[in-house]
Amino acid sequence: MTAYRHFYSEALFYQVLASCVTIPLTEYKLYVILFTETDWTVGHLSKLSYKGEISMDYLKSLTGPMRLPFLILTPACVLLGFAAATWSSGQTDWLQFIIILIGAISAHISVNVFNEYFDFKSGLDPKTRPTPFSGGSGTLPAKPEMERAALITAWVSFALTASVGVYFLMVRGLELLPLGILGLVVILFYTKWITKNPLLCLIAPGLGFGTFMVMGTYFALTGEYSWTAFISSLVPFFLVSNLLLLNQFPDVEADSSVDRKHYPIVLGRRRSARIYIAFLILTYVSIIIGVLGKFLPVTSLLGLLTIVIGIPVIKNVLQNADDVDKLIPAMGQNVLINILTPVLVAIGLFIG
């Protein structure tokens, strides 16, 4: 059989280049090409209406590895870069902001799906203890036939991110290239290679959502870098590094079985808790330094409001580093800190 096949909905002709995509347009019966490991086969899907109905089970399986609830972190970080650019330049370009946001969300989807795919292929998933904030979506272990669709999703999202990057290289210049290349490297190599180095595993998430995303947004909007952009980027740098660090606590035994070497494995949970506390403190110190150095407006101190959440998190992490069940509330509060702090700093930049 050839790599392509045609299938018909009575009077309609379709051609499929990739698996897992159907666009029902009529009330006729649809036939869809399903990709298998060895061949292309034609399968009868179902009678669908012209309204474009699609199997909810399939849609859930396709979006599961994207971890949609956690994508909210990306708009928070992009908003911070947008606010910094607006405060510095006095100009607001919503169209460019939307394009940046599309590229950033695609990057987040790509790294999430690559992570799910490689975890599934490594055999890690059955060993992992899932929590509401870690352990993956569980989609691929439950639906192994979605493995190829997940990989396609990861690459398509990656390509979309790269395309947005190329657009801004053309608009703003090659100074954006180092951030763009490093960002793509993190997406591709985080799960397979970066997680095997404790330091890189610690800082890579922060670089991705802080340095690359915030400073990249700033440059894409202004065509330059600045101390305002850099100091703003430190907020998600420390926070998102902490987010992944704390989420690794429940996975120490599982991750060590596949040769990962993050700090909770290398140093233990209790010593890693000190890193978490240090990074959380540095988040707020960065905001204060930015205001004292006049790189941020005084109103950016709004970001300090999340200290009221951070203090109980610190207490919990210190007391329950080795007790995953008791640590789960702190993991949830840590997610709130990650979302609210950059948003509050951004609000401070908008009104400052």
* Amino acid symbol at 32: V
DSSP 28: S
d(CA 64, CA 351): 37
Quick one: pLDDT at residue 207?
A: 98
168-193 pLDDT, tens digit per residue, is 999 999 999 999 999 999 999 999 99
Q: Are 172 and 135 spatial neighbours (Cβ–Cβ below 8 Å)?
A: no
Q: Hey, what CATH topology would domain 59-351 get?
A: Farnesyl Diphosphate Synthase (1.10.600)
* CA 222 – CA 123 distance, rounded (Å): 45
The amino acid present at 227, given as its one-letter code, is W
Q: Using the predicted structure, report yes or no on whether residue 307 has a pLDDT greater than 70.
A: yes
Per-residue pLDDT of 318-342, as tens digits, reads 999 999 999 999 999 999 999 999 9
Write out pLDDT tens, residues 259-291: 999 999 999 999 999 999 999 999 999 999 999
pTM of the model: 0.83
- Residue 169 makes CB contacts below 8 A (sequence gap 6+) with 176, 177, 180
Contact 221, 100 (CB under 8 A): yes
pLDDT of res. 37:
36
Average pLDDT, the chain: 86
- The pLDDT of residue 246 is 97
pLDDT of 54 reads: 57
Q: Where are the domains of the chain?
A: 6-54, 59-351
Q: How far is residue 255 CA from its own chain's centroid?
A: 20
Could you give the 3-state DSSP secondary structure of residue 138?
Answer: coil
